Structure 1
Amino acid sequence: MSTAPVTAPAAVRPYESYVYAYPHKTAYRPLPDRPALRALWAGQRTDALSLYLHIPFCEVRCGFCNLFTRIGAPGELTTRYLDALARQATAVREALGDDGPVRFAAAAFGGGTPTFLTAGELDRLCDIAETGAGADLRAVPLSVETSPATATADRLAVLADRGATRLSIGVQSFVEEEARAAVRPQRRAEVEAALGRIRDARFPVLNIDLIYGIDGQTPASWRRSLDAALAWRPEELYLYPLYVRPLTGLGRLGASGDAAWDEQRLRLYRQGRDHLLAQGYEQRSMRMFRRPDAPSEGADDYACQTDGMIGLGCGARSYTATLHYSFDYAVDMREIRSIIDAYTTTEDFSRAEVGRRVDGDEARRRHLLQSLLQAAGMEVADYRERFGGGPAEDFPAELARFAALGWLDPAAGPGLLRLSPEGLAHSDALGPALFSPAVRAAMAAYLPK
């Protein structure tokens, strides 16, 4: 728990880090005891798990991408990868045991690009999730990521038949010059054709990802991308600020950020937010906007702050209440290829190899930041019920700083901790401010590879 005073800086950089999970994988380290999965999951709640299957292949690698993925899959690599995925799924399901109910409340295929796989391979991927891991894909929300080039009719037909409820397509920009500037070569006609095929397949939810802050992007060109996406009436839209990270294509080109770029991204964020709100979308987080008439997002009993996750694949992570674990992490293509090759030859998936222990303080931080970064905010009573005390008692300095910066909504009332519009705009500064000193030190000591 936090006790040290926090001094607000004179100026806050709004784009420090996108916090999609905590602790970040750069804080993970090899686990010297290599704990058995059966022991890790013993006594854990397994009645509302999330299942994530990671496919680390793409047809191209975008200039901004630091995800764990490689270009192409020579030979029989996808077959060997799916074989290993099946072995891992079986080992994990055995480790969960039969002492209590095992139920998955949500499932997702990510990457990489899952639809890099052929239609037949996607069918097998669904079999692995169902017969290997034990998920009922037709009974839970299933989200799948795709790209314009791989969203083919035969692949989409398999996913629709197997119960996919949400297709998320990374468009990033409908302006071809901007796509090239982001090192993502694509033609507008190809993007529109892919969106047409997705709509023809009748998935309940279409999500379109867009990026702002691309070199040469203007308010007018950003508006063109927003309107091009809105023409498809997507149930969801994600607006991502561009980041330039080490070992990525843009990073190697020498691109970098400064205060002027921060201001450009903030202006474009506000323009995009206001435009989507005016079109009737609801803001769910800094990045996510949703149509109010969109189908339900899924199981009401699953909460990412408290429930466990099973990750299958060499880039996926798994969560218990006390340990987050995965495999080795890299961004450099040679390192990624080596890790994937090692994964495909692994026979024994019964132990956790790389991860980070989560103690009481880290659990509090994770619960607070993952709740607070949602536009709906966090019920103080839920936090108090789980941890015994209130967030103001555990993190007085941080919350006082957020309030002083105008990031907390004073109209939320004493029972709700909620961000103001300005707080949501600064989510990528607020989230990292809640990282523990130990996690910060581990991340700083990580050597990118």
Structure 2
Amino acid sequence: MTDQHRPRPYESYVYAYPHKTAYRPLPDRPVLADEWAGESKDALSLYVHIPFCEVRCGFCNLFTRIGAPDELTTRYLDALDRQASAVRDALGDAEPVRFAAAAFGGGTPTFLDAGELERLCDIAEKRTGADLRAVPLSVETSPSTATADRLAVLADRGATRLSIGVQSFVDAEARAAVRPQRRAEVEAALGRIRDARVPVLNIDLIYGIDGQTERSWRHSLDAALAWLPEELYLYPLYVRPLTGLGRTGGDGDRAEDDGAWDARRLRLYRQGRDHLLAEGYEQVSMRMFRRPGSPAEGPGDHACQTDGMIGLGCGARSYTSRLHYSFDYAVEMREIRTIIDAYTGTRDFSRAEVGHRMDGDGDEARRRHLLQSLLQARGMETADYVARFGTGPADDFPAELARFEAYGWLDAGAGPGLLRLSPEGLAHSDALGPALFSPAVRAAMAAYALK
């Protein structure tokens, strides 16, 4: 199939399905206890969202605000406490309740000071019942907030993984991405993280920044590798509406058209992938690379395709088999501040407010299962899919899989019973994922009014 018929390689990063822009206010405001009744709760994932950052990077469209005036962090933690208690009540005790994984994200969780991080861990443990020292606990941080006292709290409370957004070790590239930091500050933060002896260090890097070349990209890769990180994530730069770069009309003064930018990002991706593979790293997904022999993170038996998620905080999602729900979503700072203020003033967290109804084991569930399995480098055992749905992926998605095969995105040598992407398929994950969206989800996303 000719290149002109292929979709663009960078359509959108699919980290969950459906995307929040497909969510809508739920007119019945369903009771959480009813939604969780009968759900399997023996391998839940807990995600706690902290929507604060010291600065907002130019590429960022996450739900976060700059700063927290007037004791806002205290009021936010108070609301988290109320929400966690309400959610645990909704889970009930009719079925076993156990958390198999936990994560603190944002925003920047380490925007909280050491005492506030202690309280955050207490809320997770005492209100929800999650045993943070017995399950994998991942926490996101930044160079400016990875202070020794904060890291000591997290290490003591059971953190098994710290993820730091570096993006580039080249100061000029960091500035081009509107990420105000200096390499010396990054290196100092990495030293403090290693001193904290958290088992897994992840470093995030971005390719496609204005002015970035193969040489400067290799420089950042080697600077990261010098710390022997257990994990590395390589992210393509996106310029999204309402972000800092989006408001300026693009990535700084980037002179490339979209086709040339796509080609440059693909070149940089392949360079980064090949370099990490040559250094002995294993590719887990398009973005994630892991160093073999890295410490085990714990039981980690949560499966995102089938197990539920409890999200706490105004930017977190929760999943049951029948409903995905959250709070309102926005990118623009004024709208985010309004939503956070409403969250901190909420007294009753017993109902879902905004979300998307799923269809049990119907078409949407099948799309989600296939998408979240296929985007992993190990692929999907088709027997697992058949056991859950009673049909095979080729029965349910013949046109999509035939198209992927024609593009060369499927691994013809995977063997019977395994559906797996080829290296070229992994490289085009950000086109393949959106190709599996249902017409209804596409329509809802297209109708979403950006704010």
TM-score by length of 1: 0.98
Instruction: Report the alpha carbon displacement of residue 30 of structure 1 after superposing the two structures with TM.
Output: 0.2
Query: Could you tell me how far apart the structure 2 residues matched to 1:41 and 1:349 are?
Result: 14
| 1:84 aligned partner, one-letter code | A
- The SS at the match of 1:238 is strand
- Corresponding residue of 2:74: 79
Q: Deviations over 1:184-215 (max 9, x none)?
A: 01010000000000000000000000000000
Select 1:205's aligned residue among 200, 207, 222: 200
- Corresponding residue of 1:304: 304
Instruction: Report the alpha carbon displacement of residue 8 of structure 1 after superposing the two structures with TM.
Output: 10
8 A contact 1:140–1:298 mirrored in 2? yes
- Corresponding residue of 2:48: 53
- Corresponding residue of 1:234: 229
Counterparts of residues 404-443 of structure 1 (less than 5 Å): 404-443=406-445
Counterparts of residues 11-410 of structure 1 (less than 5 Å): 11-255=6-250, 258-359=258-359, 360-410=362-412
Query: Could you tell me how far apart the structure 2 residues matched to 1:11 and 1:350 are?
Result: 46
8 A contact 2:206–2:237 mirrored in 1? yes
Instruction: Report the alpha carbon displacement of residue 413 of structure 1 after superposing the two structures with TM.
Output: 1.4
Instruction: Point out where structure 2 has 5 or more consecutive residues left out of the alignment.
Output: 252-256
8 A contact 1:66–1:331 mirrored in 2? yes
| 2:156 aligned partner, one-letter code | D
- The SS at the match of 1:163 is coil
Query: Could you tell me how far apart the structure 2 residues matched to 1:299 and 1:171 are?
Result: 28
Instruction: Report the alpha carbon displacement of residue 297 of structure 1 after superposing the two structures with TM.
Output: 4.2
Query: Could you tell me how far apart the structure 2 residues matched to 1:199 and 1:429 are?
Result: 36
8 A contact 1:324–1:355 mirrored in 2? yes
Query: Could you tell me how far apart the structure 2 residues matched to 1:417 and 1:44 are?
Result: 28
Q: Deviations over 1:132-190 (max 9, x none)?
A: 11100000000000000000000000000000000000000000000000000101000
Q: 1:300 to 1:341 in 2, by over 3 A?
A: closer
> What is the identity percentage for the equivalent residue pairs of Structure 1 and Structure 2?
85
Instruction: Report the alpha carbon displacement of residue 95 of structure 1 after superposing the two structures with TM.
Output: 0.3
Query: Could you tell me how far apart the structure 2 residues matched to 1:10 and 1:293 are?
Result: 41
| 2:233 aligned partner, one-letter code | Y
- The SS at the match of 1:84 is helix
Q: Deviations over 1:43-66 (max 9, x none)?
A: 000000000000000000000000
8 A contact 2:47–2:102 mirrored in 1? yes
Query: Could you tell me how far apart the structure 2 residues matched to 1:173 and 1:300 are?
Result: 30
Q: Deviations over 1:66-88 (max 9, x none)?
A: 00000000011000000000000
TM-score by length of 2: 0.97
Q: Deviations over 1:399-445 (max 9, x none)?
A: 00000000000001120000000000000000000000000000000
8 A contact 2:10–2:428 mirrored in 1? yes
8 A contact 1:8–1:401 mirrored in 2? no
Query: Could you tell me how far apart the structure 2 residues matched to 1:11 and 1:373 are?
Result: 18
Question: Stretches of 4+ moved more than 2 A in 1?
Answer: 296-301
Q: 1:9 to 1:349 in 2, by over 3 A?
A: farther
8 A contact 1:178–1:214 mirrored in 2? yes
Instruction: Point out where structure 1 has 5 or more consecutive residues left out of the alignment.
Output: 1-6
8 A contact 2:136–2:300 mirrored in 1? no
- What is the total number of aligned residue pairs between the two structures? 443
Query: Could you tell me how far apart the structure 2 residues matched to 1:175 and 1:8 are?
Result: 33
Query: Could you tell me how far apart the structure 1 residues matched to 2:232 and 2:345 are?
Result: 38
| 2:274 aligned partner, one-letter code | D
